[in-house]
Chain A
Amino acid sequence: MTAKKGLSKRSKGKVKKMEEAKVGVFLSDCGGQIAKILDFEALTGFLKTVNGVALVARGSEFWRGQGLQAIVDAVKEKKINRVVVAENIPKISEIAITKAVEEAELNPHLVEVLDIKDHCAWPHKDTPKEATEKAKAMLLAAVEKAKLLEPIEKTEFPAVKSVLVIGGGIAGIQAAEDLADMGFQVYLVEKEPFLGGLAAKAVRFFPTDDCAICIQSPTSDLKTVTQTSRKCVYRSGFSEIPNLNVLTNSKIVKVEGAPGNFKVTVERKPRYVNEKKCVACDLCTSVCPVEVPDEYNAKLKTRKAIYVNKPLVYPPVYAIDAKACKFHECAKCVEVCPTKAIELDQKTEHLTLNVGSVIVATGFREYDPSVIKEYHYGEYPDIVTHLELARMLDAFGPTNGTVVRPSDGKPAKRIVFVQCVGSRDRRWNPYCSSICCMISLKHATLIKSAFPDTDVTICYIDIRTTGREHEYYYERAREIGVKFVKGRPAEIVHDPATNTLVVEVEDELLRRLLELEADLVVLATAMVSSENARELAEILGIELDQDGFFKEYNAKLRPTETKRRGIFLCGGATFPKDAPTASLHAHSAAVKAAKFLMNGKIVKDLKVAVVNEDYCGDCEFCPVTCPYGAITLEPKGEGHFVARVSELLCEGCGVCVGTCPVGAIELRHLKPSQISAQMKALLSINGTSKPLVLAISCSECGNAAIDSSGMAMMSYPANVRVLRVPCTGIVQVQHILEAFKAGAQGVMVVGCKPDGCHYEVGSQKTHKKVELAKTLLKAYGIEPERLEMFNLVYIEGDKFAEAAKMMTERVEKLGSLQLA
């Protein structure tokens, strides 16, 4: 799993003598187009003089057809063992070329593709002679690098075709069902004794007002359901899919192992009712003497110590509340149970599950608004939250569907809703919970439709109805007479004489201070992350965002993935969501988890970092810096530690390389010797009258910006030379000094935006390093202005061209660099 063997061998020097490099260089003139600018005769002539070049060929294209065949033939005939191709759009052509080379039985990592069109011919089209000289330098750099390339092998890691889904709300249920339908072994773990989560309590969903606990039926071959039907969760048959296991009353306590092969420990609290025996006859509750507030019904009524939630979701069997039950002291339920289902001696169990991936679907919850003292929640009983109101609106609920004042049970005739309670509030939760406006509209509409003579007012800051059909819902609420006051109330006051609540609010549109009398005030509270989010995140080794929700890898591109491979997110765990969005997210997470495990193995090129254990020791820079948690410290000798790289987790960015103070870690796919060789070659030929500037660019946004400036034929001077690295995070201060020594008069570092780095932290780290290098340069007597970092993206090709020009002019002004 780790790179232990490979490393120490390599570090002891080249054990296996490499075969002598015979480089074949293939020059595409892009159908003759760039030959109008670059002198191809000169290029081929030059290449033939370069040591190690065994073959030079020119063609119109080399990434398909005859051109590609020419490469394959040369490899097969063993004329060459290194391939350099100058081709258009290297990122794409490289795929075809390496594949063909691999089929010709040469390691695909012995191929170097470069772009002399967009990186040379086009941007320097006005100075063709200079462009030709620069192309020579670029080709030389590619050849020198190619000579030093070494084969990189593939490795396989196990991927267990089994998934753990944490959280049995609608998101978790749907993700579990999808995966089970696809044939994966699925464990659905829920901390409560019943599935359903918030959805089960919410009763109805906007904007259709349909049942909250409706899901798509499983596609498995069950006679009771058709493939396309929607069903209530309890009768959907999802629980009967043979490879889906539901574990209620359970939570995750430990996760070990690696992505694809996790060992998860689940703690399962006893239900005290045997699920296989209980027939839900209700005899037990009729004899149970213990009455406790019913949390499921927002404590608006009581329930017995043995109980079942209604409406039913799953499983359809009773459970005992261990905090309330008197157990053997009473045991009345045991006596009456006709099927002997009650087992008071059940114990907590610990199960170990072997799963390939984990989906977190822990949802969200209502924020406790009692901290907002001016609203007096918890102090005045007639102030309730939406979830409490939802329970009232449920015909199964504590008030059988009527809306009453909890203080005296009288019908609530005047109801005021307060929006943004504890959300959009920098004292508590600064974000907008996104669904509360719609929940208020839903509840106002339901109340107004059922009890038209009820006065319903919504106090709001902004009404946000951004989803499909949501605005129509708002329209409908106005149509049926819901009133809206633009203004956030300052306080809810209770008049003890009349037992009335008074909501103090400014109607901003009237610029008038109102005192709205109400029988019931409903707080649209913030929706916050699940209670155990932080604990779970720690167990899983994943991050929470600033608001306490689980953080996805990338909100736009990888909305269900986390930084830790094999661990996925869906539903309200990442942010409050309405049901359609939660479903969408759940299905998407299921697909990602399936894709990760579907082959039963994870195949990976070992383009990873390796540690030289002779140099490494006792510092923790790289493990702390690695954005993927791929580096750990392992004991070596007494009291000493060395870094160990997980080949599975390493993404090969090289941020660790840039961090290591002693040069003890390197990338297998871009060794220090390869960087030096390229740098020297790029700066060995100038051919322009201007001072050489080296641009060290990342392979992601940085290179894309350089590509796009070339594609758009934006010109910049040919003295600017590009050295591509995976991520600018690899850059060490020493590289910069080396560049100046090799003849650069200026150095540009071109990377992604600091918050958009493809390797998370690379760009930020480099920014700091560049600042540090500037102070060092000063100490060496080099003007710090000769070094600058630029953070660009693809659509900023113009900015790259400008930067290249700017740096050239700046360096020209500074005059020739004199190194001591």
Chain B
Amino acid sequence: MAEEKPEKPSTVDFAREITSKLGGETITYCYQCGTCASSCPVAKTTDRYNPRQILRLALLGQRGEVLTEDAIWLCASCYNCQERCPQKVEIADVIYALRNIAISEGNIPAIYTEFATGLMSEGRIVPISKFLEKKRADYGLPPLKPTGIEALKKILSATGFDKIMFKKGESQ
């Protein structure tokens, strides 16, 4: 594995890169009307996040800024913008595509590593405590069926999910 990735060109190529990703296909329809921003519950709460601005930066090829800064992680995935976008830009999905790119390059917020670890070890992103298992039994809930962790591991390795998440660990 190469020590350092060459910096990808910061031009409109970035838009092409996004449209080639699952979820990112529709970004070029954006005509910057701002409907997403005024639909957004997060943007109403904090000026750290504005979906229109993320799309703008992405379309202008500001790759580094989009992928390394805080904003793309502040989407609450409520899809309100996506419902209302007059150009049918699948905005929430575009944000997923951007997050996918950021994560594939090692920019991984801690909480996501936590989720991924849970998934890979138990097949669940929220682990079940002994206390809860007892409580369940007390209330007469049926014992939980085993998860398909073996099948899941095969899927995660087929998509390279395990490598995406934990390659950083190897090189550091």
Q: Which residues of A contact B (CB under 8 A)?
A: 374, 420, 424-427, 461, 486-491, 504-506, 508, 511, 513
Contact = CB atoms under 8 A, between A and B. Distances in A.
B52 to A, nearest CB: 7
Contacts of B37: 487, 490, 506, 508, 513
Contacts of B36: 490
A489 B29 contact: no
Given A424-B86, A490-B35, A490-B39, 6 more contacts: A425-B86, A487-B34, A487-B38, A508-B32, A508-B52, A513-B43
A506 B86 CA distance: 15
Given A426-B86, A491-B39, A504-B38, A511 B33 contact: no
B76 to A, nearest CB: 15
A226 B143 CA distance: 97
Contacts of A461: 31-33
B34 A505 contact: yes
A488 B87 contact: no
A570 to B, nearest CB: 30
Interface residues of B, number: 21
Contacts of A513: 37-38, 43-44
20 contacts: A420-B33, A420-B86, A424-B86, A425-B87, A427-B86, A461-B31, A461-B32, A486-B34, A487-B33, A489-B38, A490-B35, A490-B38, A491-B39, A504-B38, A504-B39, A506-B34, A506-B50, A506-B52, A511-B50, A513-B38
A489 B35 contact: yes
B100 to A, nearest CB: 25
A508 B86 contact: no
Interface string B48-89: 001011000000000000000000000000001000101110
A490 B35 CA distance: 5
Contacts of A486: 34
Contacts of B52: 506, 508
A506 B81 CA distance: 13
Contacts of A489: 35, 38
A488 B88 contact: no
A486 B84 CA distance: 17
A366 B86 CA distance: 18
Contacts of B38: 487-491, 504-506, 513
A490 B39 CA distance: 5
B58 to A, nearest CB: 16
A89 B88 CA distance: 52
B38 to A, nearest CB: 4
Nearest to B88: A426
Contacts of B39: 374, 490-491, 504
A719 B83 CA distance: 61
B34 to A, nearest CB: 4
Contacts of B44: 513
B84 A508 contact: no
Interface in B78-116: 80, 84, 86-88
Contacts of B50: 506, 511
B138 to A, nearest CB: 46
A420 to B, nearest CB: 7
A513 B43 CA distance: 8
Q: Determine which residue in B32, B35, B36, B44 has the highest number of CB atoms from chain A within 10 A of its CB, and name it.
A: B35
A504 B53 CA distance: 17
B35 A488 contact: yes
Contacts of A487: 33-34, 37-38
Contacts of A425: 86-87
Contacts of B35: 488-490
Given A506-B37, A508-B52, A490 B86 contact: no
B53 A511 contact: yes
Nearest to A507: B34
Contacts of B87: 425-426
Given A374-B84, A426-B86, A504-B38, A488 B43 contact: no
A372 to B, nearest CB: 9
B166 to A, nearest CB: 38
Q: Determine which residue in B43, B80, B86 has the highest number of CB atoms from chain A within 10 A of its CB, and name it.
A: B86
A486 B32 CA distance: 10
B171 to A, nearest CB: 38
Given A426-B87, A427-B88, A511-B53, A488 B29 contact: no
Interface string B112-153: 000000000000000000000000000000000000000000
Contacts of A511: 47, 50, 53
A461 B30 CA distance: 12
Contacts of B80: 490
Contacts of B47: 511
B123 to A, nearest CB: 39
Nearest to B45: A513
Contacts of A504: 38-39
B149 to A, nearest CB: 42
Q: In the A-B complex, list the 5 residue pairs whose CB atoms are closest, starting with the nearest.
A: A425-B86, A490-B38, A490-B39, A488-B33, A506-B34
Contact of A490 (B53, B84, B88): B84
Q: Determine which residue in A426, A487, A488, A506 has the highest number of CB atoms from chain B within 10 A of its CB, and name it.
A: A506
Contacts of B34: 486-488, 505-506, 508
A565 B44 CA distance: 58
A424 B29 CA distance: 11
A508 B31 CA distance: 12
B22 to A, nearest CB: 21
Contacts of B86: 420, 424-427, 488
A708 B125 CA distance: 69
Contacts of A490: 35-39, 80, 84
A491 B44 CA distance: 13
Nearest to A375: B84
B71 to A, nearest CB: 13
A489 B36 CA distance: 9
Nearest to A503: B38
B40 to A, nearest CB: 8
A388 B169 CA distance: 65
Q: Determine which residue in A461, A491, A504, A508 has the highest number of CB atoms from chain B within 10 A of its CB, and name it.
A: A508
A72 B3 CA distance: 87
A276 B157 CA distance: 87
A427 B84 CA distance: 9
A488 B36 CA distance: 9
A426 B33 contact: no
Contact of B29 (A374, A426, A491, A508): A426
A518 to B, nearest CB: 15
Contacts of A420: 33, 86
Contacts of B53: 511
Nearest to A488: B33
Nearest to A429: B86
B95 to A, nearest CB: 17
B82 to A, nearest CB: 11
Nearest to B32: A508
B48 to A, nearest CB: 12
A506 to B, nearest CB: 4
Contacts of A505: 34, 38
